[in-house]
């Protein structure tokens, strides 16, 4: 009995495929293209043998069988009607984790972008020598002229990928993961991105790459000691992730470092900057640098050549998650505690001492871009020479964490500051606005929300940052992400009944006596400290009396 195959009419609008932009915008090697919008209107069929999906237009689809070596058929029949197979559309055979080899005959005249995607067992794509449009080199699919690499099979055994002399670009998503490749040889013909329908070579595709070699005559790129640069070596483009070296010194010619240039270079322990570098993009993700210019200690950092140190300071955010930077920050924090915190201090005194340290450490930025990322990272207050409100806030929060004082960094009105929990009361401090010089001011120190409003200070609406756990004593602030603390207390309302009255004056007398007797033991109540000077005395009584 004749098998009846129902034809299912499908009309699908293919989405424009966006791939993540790579690591260079200018003279770059990693910059992906955009697949043009294409409308497909075709009938999807299943072959009479049940092994293939395909279309009436001769486009091969999914393989439904169990063989590991498959050949794209020249013809397929469905419902006893025979169709010529001539095209491999995007995503053909994709996500098949069983196939190890695909054979392509002379019948295939068109291969779209992104066929054979995410085929985790695929080793080889073999093309008939009689195919007029396509070929393969060692199981790697190219167009016939070998100017475009169409697909590199994920499990291909190639260790040295020597691209042909005619190579210009890769098909979109042609390089998913070339795990076996340890050396990449780039010909003189390669210029980087050539068209909107192609990809460039990408660091993400070569997780085990050790060396890059560029042929003489390439006018865009060059290599030195296995590292890729632009032609005049003013930009370091790509440092292979699995280079064995633990130390790297930038050539004097290098002025900039491209995005992701050192991505996942896990063997690298130290890089030596030069004073000629002016731009460092986000390039050290996945690295574990234990030193910078072999500097590991606070003393070495202080005595570092200022011409090179300034390069580092101007790019602090790039190194923010590196082990050496976290170590230097923690050493500076310890210095602050050794020199500003004394035994027997109460929490008020600790907060005020750290407040003084922060305002003495750096100056608010007066030149350059306030939006510069280097000014918005936690290390800017400890290792930089200037910062902005976010730097003050994050640094203050880390110091308070080490002191064991509960705190919350907040933001609002394009500004950032801190909330602190003192004597069961949430209050606000703003080191940025209180940075008055040698000693921190007190205008914005330990104030309630009402007092800040009266001072014209913005209200807080958001958690400024929650990521402090990279540091050994940093606390996770995500507990405040949904509900921020309220600074709705009233200074002078010692009995916390919500109003200032004679009862508070009586309580103030008791507070003055208690403070005079036990201040050396750390006694302090911020609700009785009307002027927030750290003492409880007749001045506070008189200030409260004026309000009652």
Predicted local distance difference test score (pLDDT) of residue 32:
34
How many other C-beta atoms are found inside a 10 Å radius of the C-beta of residue 338? 8
Statement to judge: residues 393 and 357 lie in one domain: yes
Which stretches of the chain drop beneath a pLDDT of 70? 1-42, 194-198, 366-371, 437-440
Look up residue 361 and give its two tokens.
Answer: 């450490």
Residue 248 lies in a domain: no
Q: How many domains does the chain have?
A: 2
Distance, in Å, from the CA atom of 264 to the CA atom of 321, rounded to the nearest integer, reads: 13
The whole-number pLDDT of residue 341 equals 97
367 and 413 share a domain?
Answer: yes
Query: Is 496 a member of any domain?
Result: no
Q: Is residue 463 part of a domain?
A: yes
Residue 440 CB contacts under 8 Å (≥ 6 apart), including other chains: 352, 355, 356, 358, 359, 431, 434
Distance CA 72, CA 364 (A): 67
For the beta carbon of residue 225, count every other beta carbon within 10 angstroms.
Answer: 10
User: Is residue 340 included in any domain, yes or no?
Assistant: yes
**What's the rounded Cα separation, in Å, for the pair 541 and 531?**
10
476/380 same-domain check = yes
Both 369 and 441 in one domain: the answer is yes
Query: Given the DSSP bridges, would you call strands 407-411 and 462-463 parallel, antiparallel or unpaired?
Result: antiparallel
CATH number at residue 358: 3.10.620
Taking CA atoms, 227 is separated from 137, 203, 459, in Å, by 25, 12, 50
Picking from 33, 16, 36, 321, the residue whose alpha carbon sits closest to that of residue 202 is 33
Q: Is residue 50 part of a domain?
A: no
Query: Structure pTM?
Result: 0.84
* Backbone dihedral region for residue 153 (phi beyond 0: left; psi -120 to 50: alpha; all else: beta): beta
Structural domain of 390: 330-480
pLDDT in tens, 100-157: 999 999 999 999 988 999 999 999 999 999 999 999 999 999 999 999 999 999 999 9
pLDDT tens across 311-335, in order? 999 999 999 999 999 999 999 999 9
Does some domain include residue 359? yes
Beta bridge partners of 445: 429
Please tell me the predicted confidence (pLDDT) of residue 386: 87
Residues 419 and 530 in one domain: no
Alpha helices in 320-424 (DSSP H): 323-340, 347-361, 380-383, 389-403
Torsion angles phi and psi, residue 456, rounded to 5: 80, 20
534 lies in the same domain as 434: no
Residue 387 inside a domain? The answer is: yes
Last residue of a domain, which of 480, 513, 532?
480
Residues 440, 537 within the same domain: no
Say yes or no: 476 and 506 in one domain. no
**Those residues with Cβ within 8 angstroms of residue 189's Cβ, 6 or more apart along the chain or in another chain:** 147, 165, 166, 167, 168, 218
Query: How confident is the model at residue 372, as a pLDDT?
Result: 78
> For residue 443, is it within any domain?
yes
**Euclidean distance between CA atoms 376 and 198, whole angstroms:** 37
Q: Is 412 found in the same domain as 524?
A: no
Q: Is the same domain home to 395 and 458?
A: yes
pLDDT at 21: 36
- Do 456 and 517 lie in one domain? The reply is no
The reply to whether 352 and 470 lie within a common domain is yes
Contact 112, 88 (CB under 8 A): yes
Residue 270: CB atoms within 10 A of its CB come to 18
Quick one: pLDDT at residue 199?
73
Domain termination residue (choose one: 429, 448, 480): 480
């Amino acid at each position: 009995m004749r098998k009846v195959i129902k034809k299912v009419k499908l009309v699908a609008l293919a989405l424009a495929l966006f791939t993540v932009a790579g690591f260079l915008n200018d003279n770059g090697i990693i910059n992906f293209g955009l697949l043009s919008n294409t409308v497909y209107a075709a009938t999807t069929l299943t072959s009479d043998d049940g092994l293939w999906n395909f279309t009436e237009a001769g486009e091969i689809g999914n393989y439904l069988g169990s063989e590991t070596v498959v050949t794209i058929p020249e013809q397929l029949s469905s419902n006893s009607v025979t169709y010529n197979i001539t095209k491999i559309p995007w995503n053909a055979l994709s996500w098949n984790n069983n196939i190890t080899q695909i054979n392509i005959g002379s019948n295939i005249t068109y291969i779209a972008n992104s066929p054979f995607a995410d085929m985790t067992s695929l080793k080889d794509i073999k093309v008939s020598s009689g195919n007029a449009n396509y070929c393969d080199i060692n199981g790697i699919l190219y167009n016939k002229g070998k100017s475009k690499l169409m697909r590199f099979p994920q499990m291909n055994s190639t260790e040295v990928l020597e691209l042909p002399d005619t190579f210009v670009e890769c098909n979109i998503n042609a390089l998913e993961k070339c795990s076996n490749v340890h050396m990449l040889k780039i010909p003189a013909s390669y210029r980087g991105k050539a068209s909107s329908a192609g990809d460039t070579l990408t660091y993400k595709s070569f997780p085990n790459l050790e060396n890059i070699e560029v042929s003489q005559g390439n006018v865009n790129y060059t290599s030195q000691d296995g590292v890729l640069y632009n032609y005049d070596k003013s930009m370091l483009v790509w440092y292979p992730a699995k280079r064995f070296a633990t130390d790297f010194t930038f050539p004097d010619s290098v002025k900039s470092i491209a995005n992701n240039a050192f991505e996942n270079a896990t063997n690298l322990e130290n890089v030596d900057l030069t004073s000629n570098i002016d731009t460092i993009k986000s390039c050290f993700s996945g690295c574990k640098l234990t030193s910078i210019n072999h500097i590991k200690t606070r003393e070495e950092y202080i005595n570092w050549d200022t011409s090179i140190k300034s390069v580092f300071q101007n790019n602090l955010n790039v190194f923010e998650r590196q082990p050496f930077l976290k170590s230097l920050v923690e050493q500076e924090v310890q210095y602050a505690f050794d020199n500003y915190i004394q035994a027997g201090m109460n929490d008020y005194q600790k907060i005020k001492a750290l407040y003084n340290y922060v305002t003495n450490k750096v100056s608010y930025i007066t030149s350059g871009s306030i939006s510069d990322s280097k000014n918005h990272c936690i290390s800017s207050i400890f290792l930089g020479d200037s910062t902005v409100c976010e730097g003050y806030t994050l640094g203050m929060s880390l110091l308070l964490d080490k002191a064991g004082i509960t705190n919350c960094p907040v933001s609002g009105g394009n500004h950032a500051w801190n909330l602190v929990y003192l004597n069961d009361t949430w209050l606000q401090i703003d080191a940025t606005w209180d940075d008055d010089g040698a000693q921190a001011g007190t205008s914005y120190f330990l104030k309630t929300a009402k007092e800040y409003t009266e001072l014209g200070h913005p209200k807080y609406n958001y958690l400024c940052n929650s990521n402090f756990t990279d540091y050994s004593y940093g606390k996770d602030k995500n507990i405040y992400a949904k509900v921020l603390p309220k600074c709705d207390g009233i200074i002078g309302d010692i009995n916390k009944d919500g109003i200032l009255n004679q009862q508070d004056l009586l309580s103030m007398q008791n507070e003055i006596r208690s403070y005079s007797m036990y201040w050396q033991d750390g006694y302090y109540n911020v609700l009785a400290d009307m002027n927030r000077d750290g003492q409880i005395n007749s001045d506070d009584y008189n200030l409260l009396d004026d309000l009652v």
